[in-house]
Amino acid sequence: MRRSSVWRILAVLSAVLMGLLFATTAITARGTTLRAGPETRLLGLIDDLQGRTDQQSRTLGDLQDQTAAALARAEDLDAGAAIGRAVAELGAASAGLTAMQGPGVTITLDDAPREAGGELPAGSRPDDLIIHQSDLQAVVNALWAAGVDAVTIMGERIIATSAVLCVGNTLLLQGRTYSPPFRIDAIGAPDEINTALQQSSGVALLTQAVRSFGLEFSVQAQTDLVLPAYDGPLTLRYADAA
């Protein structure tokens, strides 16, 4: 066989093989580039994961914002509750519903002693020699004017609805009766209490009776008083608009 014929046959076979290779490549690639296939798929996965990560980040941010808002509301509620508790405690103390302790004064009021044989001092009447309701009220009003924190009479805590009543020289207080000497305890600054007592016109009348008829009126500073809480009814049964 001639050499030229051999070359022609080899050329035809090469062409056929190249055609088959191109056809196989086209079928396998299905219109895509085989070399770029794995990279394209990897890039797609990366894009998908990045999208999911971004979405999760946005969700996390939203949850963090919601958590911060919830914590802020909780702090506001806690602060409100704390304020409420403080106000309630302050109100309870002001209303006399809690025991109190601190420095203050003890005030003693007593009737004048009778002379031997029961004779009245010259120029006096029986009413001049006893402690009256107005005397007790004058002292208590002066104490409140001094800004005291708590007051007791005969160990009974005095509150806004307490009524100090006297029949003769007998004290009626919160359903109980007491005889002189009468003891009043108050928690507050002793100096301010003494100043308020000196400035009270009602206490001035009492002081005059002390000098004229021998009534007892003493004020003693105390470093540590313990006054009990009010334990009676809180309903106001009687009131006077005068």
* 223, 103 contact by CB (below 8 A): yes
Nearest to 205 by CA among 154, 142, 114, 151: 142
DSSP 8-state symbol, 207:
H
Element (H, E) at 85: helix 37-94
Q: What is the largest CA-CA distance in the chain?
A: 178
pLDDT in the model for residue 115: 63
Does 190 sit behind a cis peptide bond, omega within 30 degrees of 0 on the bond before it? no
Question: Has residue 241 been placed in a domain?
Answer: no
Query: Is residue 136 assigned to a domain?
Result: yes
Q: 120 lies in a domain?
A: yes
> Among all chains, which residue has been given the structure tokens 């290779």?
21
Q: Please report the pLDDT score of residue 6 as a whole number.
A: 47
Residue pointed to by tokens 């001639």: 2
The answer as to whether 81 is a domain residue is: no
Bigger pLDDT: 170 vs 79: 170
Greater pLDDT, 94 or 143: 143
Q: Are 142 and 200 in contact (CB under 8 A)?
A: yes
Helix (H) or strand (E) holding 55: helix 37-94
Residue 12 within a domain:
no
pLDDT band with cut points at 50, 70 and 90 for residue 176: confident
d(CA 213, CA 207): 10
144 lies in some domain: yes
pLDDT at 77: 63
* C-alpha distances in Å from residue 60, one per residue of 51, 52, 72, 86, 97: 14, 12, 18, 38, 51
pLDDT tens-digit profile of 84-119? 454 444 444 445 678 899 999 999 999 988 765 566
| Helices 133-145 & 190-199 angle (0-180, nearest 10) | 130
Cβ contact 102:187 at 8 Å: yes
Residue 176 domain boundaries: 95-227
Q: Is residue 134 over pLDDT 70?
A: yes
Q: What is the domain count for the chain?
A: 1
| Within-domain flag for 213 | yes
| pLDDT number for residue 90 | 42
Is 111 a member of any domain?
yes
Could you read off the pLDDT of 31-55 as tens digits, one per residue? Answer: 444 444 444 554 455 556 556 656 6
CATH of the domain at 151: 3.30.70.1880
Nearest to 219 by CA among 57, 94, 106, 127: 106
Residue 147 has pLDDT above 50, yes or no: yes
Q: Give me the pLDDT at residue 47, please.
A: 56
Cβ burial, residue 145 (10 Å; 0-12/13-18/19+): middle
pTM: 0.58
- The pLDDT-based confidence of 20 (bands split at 50, 70, 90) is very low
Could you tell me if 103 and 189 are in contact, meaning their C-beta atoms sit under 8 angstroms apart? yes
